[in-house]
Amino acid sequence: MTKVTMTVNGRQVSGDVEDRTLLVHFIRDRLGLTGTHVGCDTSQCGACVVHMDGKSIKSCSTLAVQAAGSSVTTIEGLAQGGELHPVQAAFKANHGLQCGFCTPGMVMAAVDMINRYGGTLDEKTVRENLEGNICRCTGYHNIVKAILAAASDMSAGRQAAE
């Protein structure tokens, strides 16, 4: 057992874990943050995507001990003050989900790609950057629309603020 300490959604948390504990199980079972999902469990589907030190990673392929000392953001950490994050709002407005199982990973992947590309995101880039996230309901069209809408909204927001 190892005591791991990390920052999750801005809050310092710690817990004793077996070294083989996956980050996703620490997040779900120990912290009770069940928005992060386990889909395929073979590192292909992306339902488990969280951000570690600002970058999207697959929490089913990372050990909790590897994440010790880092800052982790999960889907629960996006909305601020009861208001949806712009990417969450865009998924809602564009019907970017059906069953919703892949949605937390999709949203975390979308936030990461908007962080990297900003307002320069185009449809081809969005589709390429969704390679690590699988949706079995939507056919992706509305997910892509939602991400493009959020990228455009967020870039307009940044310009307005400057």
Q: Applying CB under 8 A, does 24 fall inside the site for another protein?
A: no
CB 121 within 8 A of CB 148: yes
Q: Applying CB under 8 A, does 18 fall inside the site for another protein?
A: yes
- The token pair that represents 107 in the structure block: 């949203």
Residue 141 DSSP class: H
Q: Which stretch binds another protein (CB under 8 A): 27-35, 55-63, 138-146, 152-160?
A: 55-63
Q: Applying CB under 8 A, does 148 fall inside the site for another protein?
A: no
Tell which one of 16, 41, 122, 123 touches another protein (CB under 8 A): 41
Q: Which stretch binds another protein (CB under 8 A): 93-101, 105-113, 138-146, 147-155?
A: 105-113
Q: Which stretch binds another protein (CB under 8 A): 26-34, 78-86, 108-116, 139-147?
A: 108-116
Q: Could you count the other beta carbons within 10 Å of the beta carbon of residue 101? A: 16
Q: State the Cα–Cα distance between residues 118 and 151, nearest whole angstrom.
A: 6
CB 104 within 8 A of CB 59: no
Which residues touch 152 (CB under 8 Å, ≥6 apart)?
119
- The token pair that represents 140 in the structure block: 């992706």
Tell which one of 16, 19, 122, 123 touches another protein (CB under 8 A): 19
Q: Residue 95, by phi and psi: left (phi above 0), alpha (psi -120 to 50) or beta? A: left
Q: Applying CB under 8 A, does 65 fall inside the site for another protein?
A: yes
Tell which one of 11, 12, 42, 83 touches another protein (CB under 8 A): 42
Residues 109/75/148/96 CA torsion (nearest 10 deg) = 110
Q: Applying CB under 8 A, does 71 fall inside the site for another protein?
A: no
The footprint of another protein (CB under 8 A) covers 2, 18-20, 22, 41-44, 46, 49, 52, 55-58, 61-63, 65-66, 68, 109, 112-113, 129, 131-133
